[in-house]
């Protein structure tokens, strides 16, 4: 497909590289030539220099001929204008990235008025993700498939864990819960485990189950932690604002530390119960004064990866049970994970996830199976994709044991008529089912791609 992306910043760049890897033709638009150059050096894309709000620039980038037009600059209004122009020129689908909380409230109305196909708010997506892990602190990552009621939880196996040394075939017998181990990362390599896989300390493993079963599983393995009750958030960014809003409604006590006094005032006018401290969060004295030692959650959301990493390490050493850090640089994430395993998030990856899922779902034509949701587990190579099974799919009508799945592919959950269960050899897919497929190192655009 032909895709035009306006804005080659962090978010635009990440989206471009994901979609490029999938084989789409990408044209990037940005006002800064240097950004376009570095993008062109890193991947096989074309650059077009200029403002995306200018019709002439859009024409030059052939936005009218694009199947998908994605406006991902940092300026909401420019994104909206660009999408309008692209739509008028004849672009197939338009996607706008919007930051402002006001636009989030009215996302649905905006979509219909401006004829947008998708509106993405990276800050809000990130905040939702963080609030989910704070509800389930034992996990590094929690991905929910809303329609089927299944969750995929990723966590690090601790040295002392009773999972250490357990063979996959014994998992069900030992812990009595119906859970499915769907992906594992060992020494930086991702794999879909088979029956012979033996869990080792230091593995990052992803398990699928219904939320209740997952909770019981974690309790029986002794790794369960109660939801976080007191959180310190470093940096009063929009993510912090959204996150506090989400947490306040569940009764979590929030303290935000922000250096800029005017920003503090703004936050104080929108957030009712949160404590807002105007101070430098890098000052460990301030952290302690703000109750770091009493907190069971610490979220680092400053604009600097380095600050976030260092202060997360500090909070971890001070004994805070759950530490979440926003790290944009993927290399830094690896570095941080080598030191201690806790949740790291990057808004750009979360946005790329959503857009990749959306773009893939446009490709369904052959078997009428559409993509409902897509998540990266650990890194962009391991994905969990939820498909709506179409009548034309080759997977329909045969039991799982008969289907010849590609290596690196796993059917993780099947939902039929609102009830979801973990598949086994006898499971037969039917049209209308929702199937969650986990893949490692294999790109699955259509459901039939899982077959050999």
Residues at the site binding another protein, with contacts judged by CB under 8 A: 261, 264-265, 267-269, 272, 275-279, 286, 289-290
Least Cβ distance, residue 101 to another protein (angstroms): 16
Q: At what angle do helices 238-248 and 122-135 cross, to 10 degrees?
A: 40
- How distant, in Å, are the alpha carbons of 75, 169, 367 from that of 437? 35, 20, 16
Q: Which is nearer to another protein, 76 or 275 (CB)?
A: 275
- Is there a contact between 95 and 71 (Cβ–Cβ < 8 Å)? yes
Q: Where are the alpha helices (DSSP H) in 158-221?
A: 171-175, 211-220
> Cβ neighbours of residue 448 under 8 Å, at least 6 residues apart?
366, 367, 369, 393, 394, 395
Least Cβ distance, residue 107 to another protein (angstroms): 23
Least Cβ distance, residue 269 to another protein (angstroms): 5
Cα distance between residue 430 and residue 433, in whole Å: 6
- CA nearest neighbour of 145 among 420, 431, 451: 420
- CA nearest neighbour of 441 among 385, 400, 395, 380: 380
Residues linked to residue 154 through DSSP beta bridges, in sequence order: 141, 206
Least Cβ distance, residue 234 to another protein (angstroms): 14
- Tokens 């369960």 -> residue: 224
- Is there a contact between 342 and 312 (Cβ–Cβ < 8 Å)? yes
Q: Which is nearer to another protein, 275 or 318 (CB)?
A: 275
Least Cβ distance, residue 268 to another protein (angstroms): 4
Q: Which is nearer to another protein, 289 or 334 (CB)?
A: 289
> Cβ neighbours of residue 76 under 8 Å, at least 6 residues apart?
96, 97, 98, 99, 100, 103
CB-CB neighbours of 273 under 10 Å: 12
203 φ/ψ angles, rounded to the nearest 5 degrees: -70, 145
Least Cβ distance, residue 290 to another protein (angstroms): 7
257 φ/ψ angles, rounded to the nearest 5 degrees: -110, 120
> Cβ neighbours of residue 200 under 8 Å, at least 6 residues apart?
157, 164, 165, 186
- How distant, in Å, are the alpha carbons of 234, 264, 398 from that of 269? 18, 9, 58
């Amino acid at each position: 497909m032909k895709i035009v992306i306006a804005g080659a910043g962090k978010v635009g760049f990440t989206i471009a590289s994901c979609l490029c890897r999938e084989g789409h033709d990408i044209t990037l638009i940005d006002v800064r030539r240097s950004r376009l150059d570095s993008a062109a050096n890193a991947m096989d894309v074309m650059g077009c220099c200029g403002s995306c709000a200018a019709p002439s620039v859009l024409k030059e980038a052939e936005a009218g001929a694009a199947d998908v037009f994605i406006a991902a600059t940092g300026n909401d209004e420019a994104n909206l204008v660009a999408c309008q122009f692209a739509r008028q020129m004849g672009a197939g689908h338009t996607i706008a990235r919007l930051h402002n909380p006001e636009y989030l409230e009215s996302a649905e109305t905006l979509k219909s008025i401006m004829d947008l196909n998708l509106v993405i708010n990276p800050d809000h997506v990130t905040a939702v993700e963080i609030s989910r892990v704070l509800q389930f602190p034992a996990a590094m990552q929690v991905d929910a498939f809303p329609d089927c009621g299944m969750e995929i939880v990723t966590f690090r196996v601790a040295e002392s864990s009773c999972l250490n040394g357990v063979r996959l075939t014994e998992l069900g017998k030992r812990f009595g819960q119906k859970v499915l181990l769907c992906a594992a990362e060992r020494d930086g390599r991702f794999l879909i485990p088979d029956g012979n896989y033996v869990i080792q300390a230091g593995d990052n493993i992803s398990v699928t189950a219904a939320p209740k079963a997952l909770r019981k599983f974690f309790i029986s393995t002794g790794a369960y932690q109660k939801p976080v009750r007191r959180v310190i958030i470093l940096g009063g960014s929009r993510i912090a604002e959204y996150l506090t809003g989400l947490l306040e409604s569940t009764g979590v006590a929030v303290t935000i530390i922000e250096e800029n006094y005017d920003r503090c005032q703004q936050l104080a006018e929108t957030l009712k119960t949160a404590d807002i401290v105007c101070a430098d969060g890098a000052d460990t004295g301030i952290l302690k004064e703000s109750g770091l030692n009493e907190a069971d959650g610490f979220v680092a959301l400053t604009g600097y990866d380095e600050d976030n990493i260092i202060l997360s390490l500090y909070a971890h050493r001070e004994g805070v049970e759950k530490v979440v850090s926003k790290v944009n640089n993927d290399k830094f994430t690896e570095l941080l994970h080598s030191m201690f395993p806790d949740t790291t998030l990057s808004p750009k990856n979360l946005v790329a996830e959503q857009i990749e899922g959306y773009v893939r779902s446009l490709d369904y034509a052959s078997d009428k199976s559409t993509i409902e949701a897509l998540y990266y587990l650990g890194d962009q190579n391991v994905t969990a994709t939820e498909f709506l099974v179409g009548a034309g799919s080759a997977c329909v009508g045969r039991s799982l044991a008969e289907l010849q799945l590609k290596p690196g592919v796993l059917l993780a959950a099947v939902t039929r008529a609102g009830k979801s269960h973990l598949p086994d050899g006898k499971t037969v897919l039917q049209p209308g089912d929702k199937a969650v497929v986990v893949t490692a190192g294999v790109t699955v655009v259509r459901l039939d791609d899982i077959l050999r």
